Amino acid sequence: MSSTGHAALPVPALARRSPALKGRVRVPGDKSVSHRSLIFGALTIGETRISGLLEGEDVLNTAKACAALGADVERVGEGEWRVHGLGVGGLRAPEGVLDFGNAGTGSRLMMGMVAGNPITATFDGDASLRRRPMRRILDPLEQMGVEVVEAAEGGRLPLTLKGPQELVPITYESPVASAQIKSAVLLAGLGAPGETTVIEKEASRDHTERMLTHFGAEVTVEPYGEHGRKVTLKGRPELKPAPIRVPADPSSAAFPLVAALIVPGSEVVIEGVMTNPLRTGLLITLKEMGADISFENERVEGGESVADIRVRASALTGVSVPAERAPSMIDEYPVLAVAAAFASGETRMNGLSELRVKESDRLAAVADGLAQAGAAYRIEGDDLIVTGAGGAAGGGTVATHMDHRIAMSFLVMGLATDKPLKVDDISFIATSFPTFLPQMRGLGALIDSEAVAG
């Protein structure tokens, strides 16, 4: 095992043409909400109780980092956690390096969290995370007075930050629509006197804003331009502990959902999935393509809208996905590309530049995967165009490049290709969806692997 928990050697898997998928499944808790619930718990004096926490490697690394900064973080049952925090500005200097493994969210949000404390902390991660851009976080934090003591070339990990005695509140217009940038600045803003404002031209997921309000901070959100938002936080609040129930992750639900659409005769219900409108771009797109998807038992749980999603195998037609929809489905493009190969006609996914800086260069990884599966595609600038043929031959081996979503997307594809599809390494699936294999097999998916069942 590596320091971050997944197997050191690659674990290949083979997906085979499967019979109709049937049944009900509840995928694990939302990754974004899980990271944030631990972080807010650590910034709150008193006990924060969390249920339904995603116990994937990414989130477990955030839990360890919160503990290293002095919070008391305890697992009391399956998905049940308690955090006793230290209050805004109360974090302690960690003794060792904070290792975030594969997680952009954990590392970037916690850079913001640390900024408001006069401490020095070193951030690191695996080879994938070390390649990802961190300047986008360091730029606003430096404006607020944080010192970047040391960083690898291009402001990458490993890097060391030193929080100032007195942080400066700023108004920051984010150059990219990124909830990680917005959240890092707002988390830093907790420790600054006065108001910190983040402006984004396209609205990104709003879990940080919701959680700030849930924990008693003063936050105002105003529309900005056609699709954007202006978020303002009043600094130095006293956060009050509040229980958190983590809804099922729509980004994980996307895998059984697309599998059910492309495996003939399937009918699957995915329970308790978060339907926050800033996360539903994939569902909107698939419905436009003709997918038979319906919401049942719609309700509000822990401040987020959720529903049971019923999905039946469907004949899909290609569509054009507008660039402004990207933030609401940013992690879902790899699996949308798979659905698009099973559609008839062209699906054009516009404005995917951010996919190049995820756990892998997802634009390149998806293109290579489609080629391995015999599906037709082309890339024009930052757009991916898949020419659907109602199916694909399969037969190749997909390189996952340390990227969980590439691994899961192409295992889903192999459930409906003519020949089996191999994926070279599924070990990173444990970062976000540790129960993927047993849950997919429970629906009838034929996936062979020597991996220990999760």
Ligand X SMILES: C=C(OP(=O)(O)O)C(=O)O
Binding site for ligand S3P (CB under 6 A): 32, 105, 178-180, 183, 205, 330-331, 354
CA distance 182 to 172: 9
Which listed residue (124, 308, 331, 403) is catalytic? 331
Beta bridge partners of 73: 83
Select the residue interacting with ligand X from 57, 359, 368, 425 (CB under 6 A).
359
The torsion angle over the Cα atoms of residues 319, 310, 56 and 161, rounded to 10 degrees, is: 50
Q: What residues between 319 and 338 interact with ligand X by CB under 6 A?
A: 331
Among 269, 314, 260, 268, residue whose Cα is nearest residue 287: 314
Q: Which is nearer to ligand X, 126 or 209 (CB)?
A: 126
Does residue 178 have a known ligand-binding role?
yes
> Which ranges in 206-248 belong to alpha helices (H)?
207-214
> What's the closest the beta carbon of residue 58 comes to ligand X, in angstroms?
6
> What's the closest the beta carbon of residue 23 comes to ligand S3P, in angstroms?
27
Site string for ligand X, 147-176 (x = CB under 6 A): ------------------------------
DSSP 238-265: ------EEPPBPHHHHHHHHHHHHHSTT
Q: If you count them, how many residues does the chain have?
A: 454
Beta bridge partners of 202: 227
The yes or no reply on residue 252 touching ligand X (CB under 6 A) is no
Q: Which is nearer to ligand X, 239 or 367 (CB)?
A: 367
Does residue 36 have a known ligand-binding role?
yes
Please report, in angstroms and rounded to a whole number, the separation of the first and last CA atoms in the chain.
15
Provide the residue type at 222 as one letter.
E
Quick one: what does residue 183 bind among ligand S3P, ligand X, none, with the CB cut-off 5 to 8 Å set by partner type? ligand S3P
Q: Which is nearer to ligand S3P, 45 or 357 (CB)?
A: 357
Q: Which is nearer to ligand S3P, 111 or 179 (CB)?
A: 179
Cα angle at 359 between 357 and 365, to 5 degrees?
80
Contact 22, 444 (CB under 8 A): yes
Cα separations in angstroms, 295 against 281, 289, 305, 376, 439:
15, 17, 11, 32, 21
The yes or no reply on residue 104 touching ligand X (CB under 6 A) is yes
- Size of interface with ligand X, in residues (CB under 6 A): 9
Neighbours of 9 (CB within 10 A): 9
Q: Which is nearer to ligand X, 329 or 385 (CB)?
A: 329
The yes or no reply on residue 124 touching ligand X (CB under 6 A) is no
Does residue 405 have a known ligand-binding role?
yes
Quick one: what does residue 32 bind among ligand S3P, ligand X, none, with the CB cut-off 5 to 8 Å set by partner type? ligand S3P
Q: Which is nearer to ligand X, 214 or 405 (CB)?
A: 405
Site string for ligand X, 366-395 (x = CB under 6 A): ------------------------------
Instruction: Find the part of the chain contacting ligand X (CB under 6 A) among 98-106, 141-149, 182-190, 263-271.
Output: 98-106
Does residue 328 have a known ligand-binding role?
no
Q: Which is nearer to ligand S3P, 136 or 162 (CB)?
A: 136
Does residue 143 have a known ligand-binding role?
no
Q: What residues between 394 and 433 interact with ligand X by CB under 6 A?
A: 405, 432
Question: Position of tokens 């998928």?
Answer: 21
Select the residue interacting with ligand X from 4, 61, 105, 347 (CB under 6 A).
105
CA distance 343 to 370: 14
3-state secondary structure of 22: strand
CA atoms within 13 A on the CB side of 127: 6
Does residue 362 have a known ligand-binding role?
yes
Contact 349, 301 (CB under 8 A): no
Residue 120 per-residue DSSP state: E
CA distance 144 to 139: 9
Dihedral sign for Cα atoms in the order 269, 346, 275, 39:
positive
3-state secondary structure of 209: helix
Quick one: what does residue 249 bind among ligand X, ligand S3P, none, with the CB cut-off 5 to 8 Å set by partner type? none
In 291-428 the beta strands, taken as DSSP E runs, fall at 292-301, 304-312, 320-321, 344-349, 376-380, 383-389, 397-398, 421-423
Does residue 104 have a known ligand-binding role?
yes
Provide the residue type at 83 as one letter.
V
Instruction: Find the part of the chain contacting ligand X (CB under 6 A) among 14-22, 75-83, 102-110, 160-168.
Output: 102-110
CA distance 223 to 233: 15
Quick one: what does residue 359 bind among ligand S3P, ligand X, none, with the CB cut-off 5 to 8 Å set by partner type? ligand X
Does residue 312 have a known ligand-binding role?
no
331 is catalytic: yes
Binding site residues for 3-phosphoshikimate, as ranges?
31-32, 36, 178, 180, 331, 358
Binding site residues for phosphoenolpyruvate, as ranges?
31, 104, 132, 180, 362, 405
* Catalytic residue numbers, as ranges: 331
Binding site residues, as ranges?
31-32, 36, 104, 132, 178, 180, 331, 358, 362, 405
Q: Which residues bind to ligand X, rule: CB under 6 A? A: 58, 103-105, 331, 358-359, 405, 432
